[in-house]
A = this chain, B = another copy of it.
Amino acid sequence: MQSIEKIVMIGAGNLATNLAVALHNNGLQIVQIVNRTLDNAEKLAEKVNAKFTDDYDGINDKADLYIIAVSDDSICELLGKLNLRDKLVIHTAGSIDMEVLHAFSNKYGIFYPLQTFSKNEIISFENIPVCIEANTVEYETVLFQLGEKLSNNVHKVSSEQRKILHVAAVFASNFSSYLYLIADKILSDNNMSFDLLKPLIFRTAEKIQSQATENALTGPARRNDTAVLQAHLQLLENLPEYQQIYNLISNSIVKHFHQS
Contacts and interface: CB of A to CB of B under 8 A. Distances in A.
Interface of A: 14, 71-73, 94-95, 114-118, 121, 123, 127-129, 153, 155, 161, 163-184, 186-187, 190, 192, 194, 196-211, 213-223, 225-228, 231-232, 235-236, 241-242, 244-246, 248-249, 252-253, 255-256
A203 B248 contact: no
Given A72-B227, A187-B164, A213-B194, A219 B170 contact: yes
A177 B204 CA distance: 7
A228 B176 contact: no
Contacts of A123: 203
Given A187-B168, A245-B248, A181 B220 contact: no
Would you call the interface of chain A mostly helix, strand, loop, or mixed? Answer: helix
A218 to B, nearest CB: 5
Contacts of A245: 171, 175, 248-249, 252
Contacts of A236: 167
Copies of the chain in the assembly? 2
A100 to B, nearest CB: 12
A174 B115 contact: no
B115 A213 contact: no
Contacts of A180: 171-172, 176, 208, 213, 216
22 contacts: A73-B226, A94-B228, A114-B197, A116-B218, A118-B207, A118-B216, A121-B210, A153-B199, A161-B190, A164-B190, A165-B187, A166-B228, A167-B235, A169-B197, A170-B246, A172-B179, A172-B204, A176-B176, A176-B205, A177-B217, A178-B253, A204-B205
A241 to B, nearest CB: 6
